[in-house]
């Protein structure tokens, strides 16, 4: 019965967008073609009466998304950081979704804390406030520890939130499968894989033990970084549905008037947001994956305060190098090199014309350089990028979805602080520094050392692996000779030792 249920869910989504008036606002904001607008209204109007009413006090889009549930709210949070795509008015309306949603009662939060940790709130805290922030998945209370007097944030998951997300995810999967069936050209975008990636991200956000772990790792990685503050979790008072973490004091990045009143330079702060994100993504391969204004504050001394670690991204070293080379190519307007990197990494099918791809990339990059950032239409740029990926048969890289999405969000946050900020100018020194350290002779030597150390660990297993391969190949000679463990063992072990020593030597030299 999941099929009919999911179909009903999607119909009700369209009906809710129509009933609240959201569908027209969204299509107008993203400058959708007239044909798309007409089709959406024709399809939505007959089902309008089936839509959810929502809170009439809210603007249309915010009203629709809050009525539809947490997964839709997440999508709205992302759009709230992109005034260049949806317009300033809609962006400001959607900021409501970041941390101003209706809270659940404080007594429910206290009961969940006691059920999770086996100790009452009154035994641990001298103060425990009403909710200070309420988002799509959890809400936060400010509390004070009896033992130390330290102020902390206590995050508690919304009751039954997992069931609500499961309902939405089932509908998204249903829609993705039918899109692949009815629109074969969409398969290169791998809609089902995209939803699977989103599901993995959401599951991580619904287990606060994983968020505590992410916060601890992120704090360790950024310990020596200037201009950033990362609260640390209290493991003794954290579990699956509850997390206690240091209190993040500061001004929210969506409070522009308060930031100006505090005398903080917004242009410097915008550059800091973008620079720190690039450093974490390239240097550490571990970055905050939900950097909208609701998860960022600025301290009075100008330091960026980062919190809410439910969505974190991780990329391997090879992907980081590819990403850095692509960014560097755009920065230096070397579109041929950008194209080559795409082909080398397998992002573009090998049967496509590399020169044509480079020419298409030039059409994407050239309008950005030399133009004031406030004049760039990101909506048009994204539309053209989509055309390029379709023309050259590029499939969606699910391992890069969170990185690309976060990059869009971070640029939106930075430009909300400074509308004249140019992402490429800010990125240049960060990417150049990474390239110098990680793409070149030193990187080659480090790679050789790592390879040697890995091979050395398998030295004792090489005889058995060789024997197994020969048996699999059906070599009759295997039956008539002494076991390889005894005949080749000493030689292979010696080879493993040599590999190990060479790895140690190379590692010491670099």
Looking at residue 427, its pLDDT comes to 84
pLDDT band at 321 (very low <50, low <70, confident <90, very high): confident
Average pLDDT for 129-154: 92
Identify the pLDDT of residue 300. 92
Check pLDDT > 90 for residue 313: no
Mean pLDDT across the stretch 179-185? 70
**Per residue in 329-367, pLDDT tens?**
888 889 899 889 888 888 888 889 999 989 988 887 787
Whether residue 114 is predicted with pLDDT greater than 90 in this model: the reply is yes
The first and second tokens of residue 146, run together, are 């009896």
DSSP E strand boundaries for 96-164: 125-134, 138-145, 151-157
**What was the pLDDT predicted at 510?**
40
Q: How much is the average pLDDT of 17-36?
A: 73
Distances (CA, A) of 395 to 196, 347, 349, 357, 406: 15, 7, 9, 15, 19
Of 381 and 217, more confident: 217
CA–CA separation, 195 and 78 (whole Å): 16
The answer, yes or no, to whether residue 270 has pLDDT greater than 50, is yes
> Per mean pLDDT, which range of 36-40, 91-95, 400-404 is the poorest?
36-40
What's residue 496's pLDDT?
45
Asked whether the predicted pLDDT for residue 489 surpasses 60, the reply is no
122 as an active site residue: the answer is: no
Give residue 147's pLDDT band: very low, low, confident or very high (50, 70, 90): very high
pLDDT in the model for residue 228 = 94
* Average pLDDT score over the chain: 79
Q: What pLDDT, on a 0 to 100 scale, did the predictor assign at position 238?
A: 96
**Which of 84, 168, 290, 308 is the catalytic position?**
290
Q: What is the mean pLDDT of residues 132-161?
A: 91
User: How does pLDDT run across 412-431, given as a tens digit for each residue?
Assistant: 888 889 988 887 788 888 88
Beta strands in 348-455 (DSSP E): none
Tokens (6 digits) for 244 = 């206690």
List of residues 6+ apart from 278 with CB closer than 8 A: 427, 430, 431
Q: What is the pLDDT at residue 505?
A: 39
**Which pLDDT value is given to residue 230?**
95
Backbone angles phi, psi at 98, to 5 degrees: -70, -45
User: Cα–Cα distance between 33 and 495 in angstroms, integer?
Assistant: 66
Percent of the chain's residues with pLDDT above 90: 28
Task: Answer yes or no: is pLDDT of 10 > 90.
Answer: no
Whether 394 has a pLDDT exceeding 50, the answer reads yes
Choose the most confident range, by mean pLDDT, from 55-69, 156-170, 227-241, 487-501. Answer: 227-241
Residue 378: pLDDT over 60: no
- Beta bridge partners of residue 286, listed in sequence order: 314
Give tens-digit pLDDT for 38-72: 777 776 677 777 788 888 888 888 888 888 877 77
**In the 8-state DSSP scheme, what is residue 51?**
S
Bridge partners (DSSP) listed for residue 242: 156
Q: What pLDDT score does 37 carry?
A: 67
Query: What confidence tens digit (pLDDT) does each residue in 436-470 have?
Result: 877 666 666 766 777 777 767 777 777 777 777 77
For residue 21 the two structure tokens come to: 């008036």
pLDDT band at residue 232, thresholds of 50, 70 and 90? very high
341 vs 320: CA distance, rounded Å? 12
- How far is 298 from 306, CA to CA, in rounded Å? 9
Fill in the DSSP letter of residue 480.
G
């Amino acid at each position: 019965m999941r099929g009919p249920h999911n179909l009903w869910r999607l119909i009700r989504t369209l009906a809710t967008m129509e009933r609240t008036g959201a569908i027209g606002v969204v299509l107008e904001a993203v400058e959708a073609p007239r044909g798309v607008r007409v089709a959406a209204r024709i399809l939505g109007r007959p089902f309008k009466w089936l839509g959810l009413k929502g809170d009439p006090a809210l603007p249309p889009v915010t009203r629709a998304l809050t009525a539809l549930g947490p997964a839709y709210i997440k999508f709205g949070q992302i759009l709230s950081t992109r005034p260049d795509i949806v317009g300033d008015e809609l962006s400001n309306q959607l900021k409501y979704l970041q941390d101003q949603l209706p809270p659940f009662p404080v007594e429910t939060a206290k009961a969940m804390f006691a059920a999770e940790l086996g100790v009452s709130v009154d035994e641990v805290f001298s103060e425990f406030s009403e909710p200070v922030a309420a988002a799509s998945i959890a809400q936060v209370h400010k509390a004070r520890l009896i033992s130390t007097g330290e102020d902390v944030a206590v995050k508690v998951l919304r009751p039954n939130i997992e069931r609500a997300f499961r309902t939405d995810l089932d509908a998204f999967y249903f829609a993705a499968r039918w899109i692949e069936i009815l629109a074969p050209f969409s398969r290169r975008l791998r809609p089902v894989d995209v939803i699977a990636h989103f599901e993995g991200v959401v599951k991580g956000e619904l287990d606060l033990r994983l968020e505590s772990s992410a916060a601890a790792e992120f704090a360790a990685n950024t310990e020596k970084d200037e201009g950033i503050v990362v609260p640390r979790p209290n493991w003794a008072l954290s579990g699956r549905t509850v997390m206690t973490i240091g209190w993040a004091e500061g001004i929210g990045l969506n409070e522009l008037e308060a930031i100006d009143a505090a005398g903080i330079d917004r242009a410097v702060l915008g550059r800091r947001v973008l620079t720190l994100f690039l450093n974490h993504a390239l240097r550490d391969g571990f970055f905050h994956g939900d950097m909208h204004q609701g998860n960022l504050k600025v301290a009075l001394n100008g330091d960026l305060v980062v919190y809410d670690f439910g969505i974190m991204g991780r990329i391997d070293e090879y992907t980081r190098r590819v990403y850095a080379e692509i960014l560097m190519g755009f920065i230096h307007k070397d579109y041929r090199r950008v194209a080559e990197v795409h082909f080398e990494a397998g992002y573009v099918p090998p049967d496509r014309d590399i020169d044509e791809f480079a020419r298409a990339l030039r059409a994407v990059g050239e309008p950005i350089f030399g133009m004031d950032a406030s004049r760039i239409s990101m909506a048009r740029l994204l539309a053209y990028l989509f055309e390029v990926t379709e023309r050259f048969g590029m499939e969606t890289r699910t391992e890069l979805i969170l990185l690309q999405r976060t990059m869009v969000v971070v640029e939106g946050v930075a430009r909300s602080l400074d509308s004249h900020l140019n992402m490429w100018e800010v990125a240049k020194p960060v990417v150049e520094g990474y390239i110098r350290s990680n793409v070149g002779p030193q990187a080659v030597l480090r790679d050789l050392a790592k390879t040697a150390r890995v091979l050395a660990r398998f030295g004792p297993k090489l005889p058995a692996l060789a024997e197994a391969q020969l048996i699999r190949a059906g070599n009759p000679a295997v039956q008539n000779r002494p076991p390889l463990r005894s005949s080749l063992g000493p030689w292979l072990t010696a080879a493993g030792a040599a590999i190990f020593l060479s790895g140690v030597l190379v590692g010491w030299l670099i």
